[in-house]
Amino acid sequence: MVIGLTGTNGSGKTTLANHLQAKGFYPLSLSDEIREELQRLHLPVDRPHMIEKGNELRRNYGQNVLAVRTLRKIQPDRNYTVDSIRHPTEIEALRGLQGFHLLHVDAPLRVRYERALQRQDARTPKTYEEFVELEARELSGSTPEGQNLNACAAMADVVLQNDGTVEQFLAKAEKQIIDWMRHHPRPGWDEYFMRIARMTALRSNCVKRKVAAIIVRDRRIISTGYNGTPRGVTNCNEGGCQRCNSLAASGTRLDECVCSHGEENAIVQAAYHGISIKDAVLYSTFAPCLQCTKMIINAGIREVVFNAHYPLNDTALQIMQQAGVTLRQIELD
């Protein structure tokens, strides 16, 4: 889950981010990208320079540049907070993440100014009038690349008012986040196994194409296989298959290829270790070829789920249907 935090200066975003960090959320901030730029240029890291440099980065590299850079740091198996979201295109970029939710935090202007004074850091305006002036610039979005907190607030899933005690504010935030966490979707079984198959494909030593298959029974993986040269033969990526290493055109010189297919290896590995695959389900990153289809049928596999079309010829499809093997395709990003 990724909790995006947007809101006005002094509203309590950092307080919430710190609180969630203590609860196991990894903290990220779009402003860190701006701070790094200012430090690299030996410029003051104060609020006016932060606003100016942020606008410059959006103008030169795209309005969502800060979010795009931050997205590279996010791993799918962790919970995060992403602070300092200040432009609608940043939200649009982050919405591509599964499990992203946006909180907008606000509080009365005078209360926020008093909180800013208590921070006593380089970002704190010297006077209330300066605080109000800077706030107006952040809220309005007077230029396409400028901060536009009003637009961000309109895109938020929930708006939290932090006009009471810290404890009350954090309790409200926790209640909302726990509700999101309880309804956070998990991958279905097909997606789960297919993503494992795609990761398995990265072990392939074939230089032409990386393909993998996993065999599942009772929702348990009992065998895996990826394409490459047979055991004891020089790996394809080390020159073991002349056909692949000469970059032969797709579909040609197949009689010269010494690489075994992913489905073939998964079936053979099960046999090698004495594991029955009768009535199992095979997940493959590509649709099986005719040769692998015959092995699948004779091994007693009852269903094949594939991700991408490999040119699946009519004969392979026909004999699979005739043998009663179910064939399904699921598409993943």
Write the burial class of residue 294 (CB in 10 Å: 0-12 exposed, 13-18 middle, 19+ buried): middle
Give the Å distances, CA to CA, from 20 to 95, 170, 178, 191: 20, 9, 11, 29
Write the burial class of residue 317 (CB in 10 Å: 0-12 exposed, 13-18 middle, 19+ buried): middle
What does the alpha-carbon distance between residue 85 and residue 4 come to, in Å, rounded to a whole number?
A: 7
Neighbouring residues of 194: CB distance < 8 A, sequence distance ≥ 6: 283, 285, 305, 307, 330, 332
- Provide the token pair at 292: 């692998």
The DSSP output letter for 67 is H
Q: What are phi and psi of 267, to 5 degrees?
A: -65, -45
Catalytic residue among 33, 90, 263, 264: 263
What does the alpha-carbon distance between residue 19 and residue 242 come to, in Å, rounded to a whole number?
A: 58
Q: Is 263 one of the catalytic residues?
A: yes
Helix 47-61 and helix 128-140: axis angle, to 10°? 10
Active-site positions? 263
